[in-house]
């Protein structure tokens, strides 16, 4: 029996949310209220990156004439925004732990205090793999290869990943990244127009 595309997506979300609720319950349900200048600048910069991404993405994709499914828009925006943020954060934490282990005096394979960089690398490798091996096969054709803005897509994704990683590293701020990721997912589904229910 072959799984449908929605079933694959819902299964991925289920696994991601279970991981998030088991390992990151504290971060998910508590909100760091320390809004120092650095955090305000980071969140402002993150919103600007998400807005720039919306422009680049909208200018570089097409919907193939598919109708907009409002229920899918709502479910995908919230579901993927939360589920994939949990997995991205899990990968970031794996990178931090790996750096801590590899920089111990008994190992000394990498320099000390490389947790952030290693977290970002593991998070970005996972992100590339999940998008390249999972999402690309599930979503309908939607990339306009002739778009003059297409070359800006990957640099924008790197900026998004970097800003979210800083939210994780400095503030353990999952709720803000849930919202930021949801906005990116909203842009995607409004432009690609696919259904989770049909």
- Mean pLDDT over 53-78 rounds to 96
Locate 87 and state its tokens: 């997995």
The answer to the question of residue 3 being in a domain is no
The answer to the question of residue 109 being in a domain is yes
* Residue 132 DSSP symbol: I
The answer to the question of residue 116 being in a domain is yes
pTM above 0.85, yes or no: yes
Could you report the per-residue pLDDT of 150-167, keeping only the tens digit for each?
999 999 999 999 999 999
How many domains, the chain? 1
- Mean pLDDT over 5-15 rounds to 97
Instruction: Specify the 3-state DSSP secondary structure of 56.
Output: helix
114: containing domain: 35-191
Question: Helix 115-130 and helix 153-171: axis angle, to 10°?
Answer: 130
The answer to the question of residue 139 being in a domain is yes
Task: Report the pLDDT value the prediction gives residue 76, as an integer from 0 to 100.
Answer: 98
- The angle at the Cα of 185, spanning 1 to 97, to the nearest 5 degrees, equals 85
- Mean pLDDT over 55-71 rounds to 96
Residues near 123 by Cβ (< 8 Å), separated by ≥ 6? Answer: 88, 91, 92, 95, 161, 165
The answer to the question of residue 28 being in a domain is no
Helices marked H in 32-152: 37-59, 70-102, 115-130, 136-138
The answer to the question of residue 9 being in a domain is no
Could you report the per-residue pLDDT of 81-101, keeping only the tens digit for each?
999 999 999 999 999 999 998
The answer to the question of residue 106 being in a domain is yes
Measure the CA–CA gap between 138 and 132, rounded to whole angstroms: 10
């Amino acid at each position: 029996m072959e799984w449908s595309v929605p079933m694959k997506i819902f299964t991925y979300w289920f696994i991601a949310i279970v991981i998030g609720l088991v390992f990151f319950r504290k971060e998910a349900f508590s909100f760091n209220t320390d809004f120092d200048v650095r955090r305000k600048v980071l969140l402002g910069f993150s919103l600007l990156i998400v807005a720039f991404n919306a422009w680049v993405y909208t200018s570089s994709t097409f919907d193939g004439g598919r109708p907009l499914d409002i229920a899918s828009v709502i479910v995908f925006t919230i579901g993927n925004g939360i589920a994939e943020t949990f997995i991205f954060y899990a990968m970031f934490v794996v990178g931090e732990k790996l750096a801590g282990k590899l920089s111990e005096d008994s190992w000394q394979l990498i320099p000390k205090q490389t947790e952030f960089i290693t977290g970002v690398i593991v998070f970005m490798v996972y992100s590339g793999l999940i998008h390249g091996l999972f999402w690309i096969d599930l979503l309908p054709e939607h990339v306009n290869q002739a778009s003059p803005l297409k070359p800006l897509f990957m640099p924008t994704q790197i900026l998004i990943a970097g800003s979210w990683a800083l939210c994780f590293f400095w503030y353990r701020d999952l709720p803000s990244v849930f919202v930021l990721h949801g906005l990116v997912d909203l842009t995607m589904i409004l432009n690609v127009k696919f259904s989770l229910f049909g």
